[in-house]
Amino acid sequence: MKNLANCKPSEFLKQTSLIRKSVQKWLKATDIMNIRKNLPDIEIVTPDMDAETAEKTASENRRKTEEQMNRNFSAILDAVLDEHPEETLELLALLCFIEPKEVDEHPMNEYIGAINEMLSDRAVIGFFTSLAQLGLMNI
């Protein structure tokens, strides 16, 4: 299946413009950037703490952080899969050079294979990273 990792440069440029617009809409709809901002209340480890207290505090902070990460990930999955599946499918289709209205004409294993291929490609990952950074800056 054609995707960003195996397309021609001219196809990449045109498709990434479509994807960029879809990502902007997807990020706004799913509110992922704000979900990621949910942080746990942690206690600062200070130099005046004894070693045992500092270790207990650090351990509790790690536990709280892991729990918050799990809550955030669950909230992101809810937003992407349950609350905004149409936007997610549109993005998935565009990543694979499929017209969004034709997304169901391909089996899921083709999309999964294409996603794996894209995640293994440094240039594609760089593109996704750039999109995320632009999303963080609200551009």
pTM here? 0.80
Q: What is the pLDDT of residue 136?
A: 54
Could you tell me if residue 2 is inside a domain? no
Could you tell me if residue 37 is inside a domain? yes
Q: How far is 129 from 123, CA to CA, in rounded Å?
A: 10
Tell me the residue range of the domain where 78 lies. Answer: 9-136
Q: Is the pLDDT of residue 80 over 90?
A: yes
Q: What is the pLDDT of residue 76?
A: 97
Could you tell me if residue 61 is inside a domain? yes
Q: What is the pLDDT of residue 139?
A: 43
Helix (H, G, I), strand (E, B) or coil at 42: coil
Q: What is the pLDDT of residue 133?
A: 76
Q: What is the pLDDT of residue 26?
A: 93
SS3 content of the chain, % helix, strand, coil (to 5): 75, 0, 25
Burial of 19 (0-12, 13-18, 19+ CB in 10 A): buried
Q: What is the pLDDT of residue 135?
A: 61
Q: How far is 39 from 41, CA to CA, in rounded Å?
A: 7
Q: What angle do CA 104, 109, 113 make, to 5 degrees?
A: 120
Q: pLDDT tens digit string along 6-61?
A: 999 999 989 988 998 998 899 999 999 899 999 999 999 999 999 999 999 999 99
Beta-carbon count within 10 A of 32 CB: 19
Residue 98: what are its φ and ψ, rounded to 5°? Answer: -110, 140
Could you tell me if residue 43 is inside a domain? yes
Domain count for the chain, please give it. 1
Q: Tell me the pLDDT of the chain averaged across its residues.
A: 92
Could you tell me if residue 130 is inside a domain? yes
Q: What is the pLDDT of residue 15?
A: 93
Could you tell me if residue 1 is inside a domain? no
